[in-house]
Amino acid sequence: MEKILDGIRILDLSYFIAGPYCAMLLASMGAEVIRIEPPGGSLDRDIGPYSPSGKGMYPWHYCCNKKGITLNTRKEKGREILKDLIKNSDIMVQSYLPKAKKTIGLEYSKLEKINKGFILVSFSGYGQNGPYSSRGGFDAIAQGMSGMMSITGIPDSIPLKSGSAVIDYGTSLYGVIGALLALRYREKTGLGQEVDVSLLDTAVSFMETVFAEYAVLGSERSQIGNRRPYTAPTDMFKAKDGYVNISVSTDTIWKRFAELIGKSELVDNPKFKSNRIRCQNHEALADMAQKWISQKNVSEVIEKLNAVGVPAGPVYRISEVLDDPQIKARKMIKCLDYPGEGEIPIPGIAIKLSKTPVTIDRRAPEVGEHNYDVYGAILKYTDEEISKLIKGGVI
């Protein structure tokens, strides 16, 4: 079946999460994505968790659908080969620091001279300009600098980051959007451009209304646990056998909730009549909800709330996520066979297109697995020439 990016070739020189996941999503849309690693493998292959055989598991998730080759860009011959690959490709995804980027020759001003329609998607901690542009950055650092950690956690606890790398993945999505926009611009003009996305920019963009709250109301949002600041009762509650999230986010939903728990007389109570007023009395509402929920099992709470149109869901353990029927129906867990490791479950693709599907079809490649295929098909090297480059440490 046709995919939307069939015929697009992408060079992936990124590592860790944000860049590689962006490239994987583009591969899942049909692009031919070639991951380029140094001989011996990229740094992110040495990061845990580790499989029983000792392999780092990170690339198993964000390198699916890619071909894998090796190339030593520290050698002059390696940089020459990279230029030849750029001439024959459409997009590069990279996450080098500016100094290394310049050493390898990845400034966009140079790349567009090699291929005027070439698109460069640059990932970094802080962006390609500004006083911090030369610094390295990671997800947790961006969460901290954006203020996100200061509003996450139980009141009066230490600042907390998200349990998963939400900023890395958010930056990946911005990278995909940028790449698609640049492809559209190239269709109109024949010209490429650089897409500049950073972890800190993403984290700041995820901060909802907190900056406006500070500027207009003069107050800094603080840690409020699992509740939402402007709807109530919207929080996590303990049932007999686990935890439940509920979201009473409108007056209509509040009426349904109050009637369900036998408190319909509170609908017109001045303390709870509107969402704005309910937020001021959230503690009383939380106590009321907790008392009702604590007498029931999670499944009973979920069934009763959803039956009357009150959004609610369980707080799953990891094993329970894998067994959820909705997650299975949406194909959000994909199992891939890794040699020597068995069937490995990884998150599926969240974008669903009816005519040009976005899918995970192949496991992540081993280091240099496609050297002969790629160098032979694209640059027309013979097997003998490729073997010589391998012996010389160029690939």
Cα 316 to the chain's mean position, in Å?
20
What's residue 5's pLDDT? 98
Name 343's bridge partners.
337
Output Rg (C-alpha) for the chain, integer angstroms. Answer: 25
Return all residues near 391 (Cβ < 8 A) that are at least 6 apart: none
Strands, E assignment, 74-230: 91-94, 119-124, 194-198
Sheet holding 32-37, edge to edge: 67-70, 32-37, 9-13, 91-94, 119-124, 194-198
Q: Which residues of the chain have pLDDT under 70?
A: none
pLDDT digits (tens, 9 = 90+) for 144-168: 999 999 999 999 999 999 999 999 9
Q: Is residue 192 within 8 Å of residue 242, measured between CB atoms? A: no
Strands, E assignment, 211-321: 234-239, 242-247, 312-314
pLDDT digits (tens, 9 = 90+) for 306-330: 999 999 999 999 999 999 999 999 9
H/E stretch holding 34: strand 32-37
Domains and CATH numbers, the chain: 9-205+329-391 (3.40.50.10540), 234-316 (3.30.1540.10)
Q: Is residue 171 within 8 Å of residue 198, measured between CB atoms? A: yes
Q: Is residue 236 within 8 Å of residue 178, measured between CB atoms? A: no
- Tell me the C-alpha distance between 302 and 246, whole Å: 9
With tokens 């009762």, the residue in question is 233
What's residue 267's pLDDT? 93
Q: Is residue 121 within 8 Å of residue 178, measured between CB atoms? A: yes
Q: Is residue 175 within 8 Å of residue 195, measured between CB atoms? A: yes
Burial string for 219-252 (b: 16+ CB within 10 Å, else e) reads eebebeeebebebbbbbebebeeeebebbbbeee
Q: Is residue 55 within 8 Å of residue 89, measured between CB atoms? A: no
What's residue 395's pLDDT? 96
- Tell me the C-alpha distance between 112 and 146, whole Å: 33
- Tell me the C-alpha distance between 112 and 217, whole Å: 48
> How are beta strands 242-247 and 234-239 bridged, if at all?
antiparallel
In degrees, to the nearest 5, what angle opens at C-alpha 107 toward C-alphas 103 and 113?
115
Q: Is residue 143 within 8 Å of residue 125, measured between CB atoms? A: no
What's residue 367's pLDDT? 96
- Tell me the C-alpha distance between 282 and 158, whole Å: 23
The DSSP code sequence of 299-352 is HHHHHHHHHTT--EEE---HHHHHH-HHHHHTT-EEEEEETTTEEEEEE-----
With tokens 């459409």, the residue in question is 90
Phi, psi angles (nearest 5°) of residue 70: -115, 150
Cα 33 to the chain's mean position, in Å?
18
Phi, psi angles (nearest 5°) of residue 244: -135, 140
Q: What is the dihedral of CA 181, 184, 189, 192, to 10 degrees?
A: 50
What's residue 98's pLDDT? 86
Measured over the CA atoms of residue 134, residue 140, residue 141 and residue 142, the dihedral's sign is positive
What's residue 1's pLDDT? 76
